[in-house]
């Protein structure tokens, strides 16, 4: 929803792209503090408390973004950062517990559903704005859905059952996991660059299509929905399509394929060409983070701490990225922001080269594992 209404958000509040970049940076900084210092210390609470609370806080942030005055919007992004930091840790940790206990794939479907949200949110916002709805109405609708999701998870039998599967609830600073398990460093860097690409698309892709390539609101929404659909397909079926290559080769293929697609999007002269490039980009970048998170099981670190550590480093891409992207959009144009995204795909491939070779050998892996590689 946000990626489509973002241009209206800027115009209505009189905010420049650079100022918006600092808002995103503030949100990401709060998220990292929450993931690093707070979330590991809340592991003693049941998932039926932490997951609904995270969703409700995120919903409150969405509502505040819609209705606060421009000079007060920093409050909204602090709230969003708090909720997002909790979501990134506790939803993944809960999914990991359910998957490990049930011995059934959970991560890939969880994050495929995230991309389905991208499809429905983008198309819904595109149609709503075309019919005359305000961006505030769209964001308020998102807040309502987040509150509904919070209630649903509060009453979830699956979350209640997973509590019985948790043997240990660590309360350590997540970044200390890298000192204990250096094998986590390479996948963390992969996730960092993959998140930078996804974060760039989630904010700047539609405004690039509309302001630089002249796409309509609905046309730009459809283009982003194509990207999200490719992400959905890649996340849902990556275990069968690419994971037979092993995590290392999967990451390399993801980085190279994303690089080619990113170059196509950067040099595109029409919205249709850019939309096709976004679709290809979505498929390839979708497999980078799941392959990287799949290496968590190869470390000796507790999964909750390992996931929090990798996610924290990955999310730091949003700390550095938004101010730079906003500054580039304001000084060099929106095409430059997409160009920076291309450089991030190079980072995915380069980090993949440092993944241990035995982690990429399909002969080392069960061809039909009972538990799918974790998604990030």
Comparing 182 with 53, the larger pLDDT belongs to: 53
Tokens 């398990």 -> residue: 181
> Which of 224-233, 267-276, 332-341 has the weakest average pLDDT?
332-341
Whole-number Cα distances in Å, 68 to 72, 134, 140: 6, 15, 12
CB 223 within 8 A of CB 275: yes
As a whole number of angstroms, the distance between CA 365 and CA 367 comes to 6
Which two three-digit tokens encode residue 8?
């209206």
The burial of 35, by beta-carbon neighbours within 10 Å (0-12 exposed, 13-18 middle, 19 or more buried), is given as buried
In a domain, 374, yes or no: no
As a whole number of angstroms, the distance between CA 59 and CA 65 comes to 10
Question: DSSP letter at 42?
Answer: G
Q: Is the pLDDT of residue 38 over 80?
A: yes
CB 23 within 8 A of CB 68: no
In a domain, 259, yes or no: yes
Q: What is the CATH number of the domain that holds 252?
A: 1.20.1250.20
Structural domain that includes position 308: 2-364
**Percent of the chain at pLDDT above 90?**
41
| Cut 0.85: pTM above it | no
In a domain, 369, yes or no: no
In a domain, 191, yes or no: yes
In a domain, 370, yes or no: no
As a whole number of angstroms, the distance between CA 264 and CA 279 comes to 11
Structural domains in the chain (count): 1
In a domain, 320, yes or no: yes
Residue 196: the pLDDT is 87
In a domain, 372, yes or no: no
Whole-number Cα distances in Å, 151 to 51, 56, 121, 155: 10, 9, 20, 6
In a domain, 375, yes or no: no
Digit-coded pLDDT (tens) for 206-262: 999 999 999 999 999 999 999 999 988 887 776 566 556 778 888 999 999 999 999
Whole-number average pLDDT of the chain: 84
Digit-coded pLDDT (tens) for 4-14: 999 999 999 99
């Amino acid at each position: 929803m946000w990626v489509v209404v973002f241009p209206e958000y800027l115009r209505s509040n009189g905010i420049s792209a650079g100022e918006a970049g600092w808002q995103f940076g503030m949100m990401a900084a709060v998220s990292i503090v929450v993931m690093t210092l707070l979330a590991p210390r809340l592991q003693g609470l049941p998932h039926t408390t932490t997951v609904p609370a995270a969703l409700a806080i995120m919903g409150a942030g969405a509502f505040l973004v819609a209705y606060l005055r421009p000079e007060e919007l920093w409050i909204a992004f602090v709230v969003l950062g708090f909720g997002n930091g909790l979501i990134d840790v506790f939803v993944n940790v809960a999914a990991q517990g359910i998957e490990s206990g049930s011995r059934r794939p959970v991560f890939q479907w969880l994050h495929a559903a995230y991309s389905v949200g991208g499809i429905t949110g983008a198309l819904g916002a595109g149609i709503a704005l075309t019919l005359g709805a305000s961006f505030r109405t769209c964001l308020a609708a998102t807040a309502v859905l987040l509150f509904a999701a919070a209630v649903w998870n509060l009453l979830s039998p699956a979350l209640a059952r997973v509590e019985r599967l948790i043997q240990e609830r660590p309360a350590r600073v997540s970044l200390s996991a890298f000192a204990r398990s250096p094998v986590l460093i390479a996948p963390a860097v992969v996730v960092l660059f993959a998140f930078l690409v996804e974060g760039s698309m989630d904010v700047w892709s539609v405004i690039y299509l509309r302001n630089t390539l002249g796409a309509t609101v609905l046309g730009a929404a459809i283009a982003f929905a194509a990207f999200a659909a490719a992400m959905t397909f890649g996340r849902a079926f990556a275990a069968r399509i690419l994971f037979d290559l092993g995590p290392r080769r999967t990451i390399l293929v993801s980085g190279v394929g994303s690089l080619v697609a990113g170059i196509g999007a950067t040099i595109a002269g029409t919205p249709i060409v850019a939309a096709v490039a976004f679709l290809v980009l979505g498929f390839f970048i979708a497999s980078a983070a799941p392959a990287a998170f799949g290496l968590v099981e190869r470390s000796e670190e507790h999964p909750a701490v390992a996931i929090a550590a990798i996610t924290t480093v990955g999310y730091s891409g949003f700390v550095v990225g938004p101010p730079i992207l906003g500054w580039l959009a304001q000084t060099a144009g929106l095409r430059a922001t997409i160009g920076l995204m291309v450089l991030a795909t190079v980072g995915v491939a380069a980090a993949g080269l440092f993944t241990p070779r035995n982690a990429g050998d399909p002969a080392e892996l069960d061809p039909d594992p009972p538990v799918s590689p974790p998604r990030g």
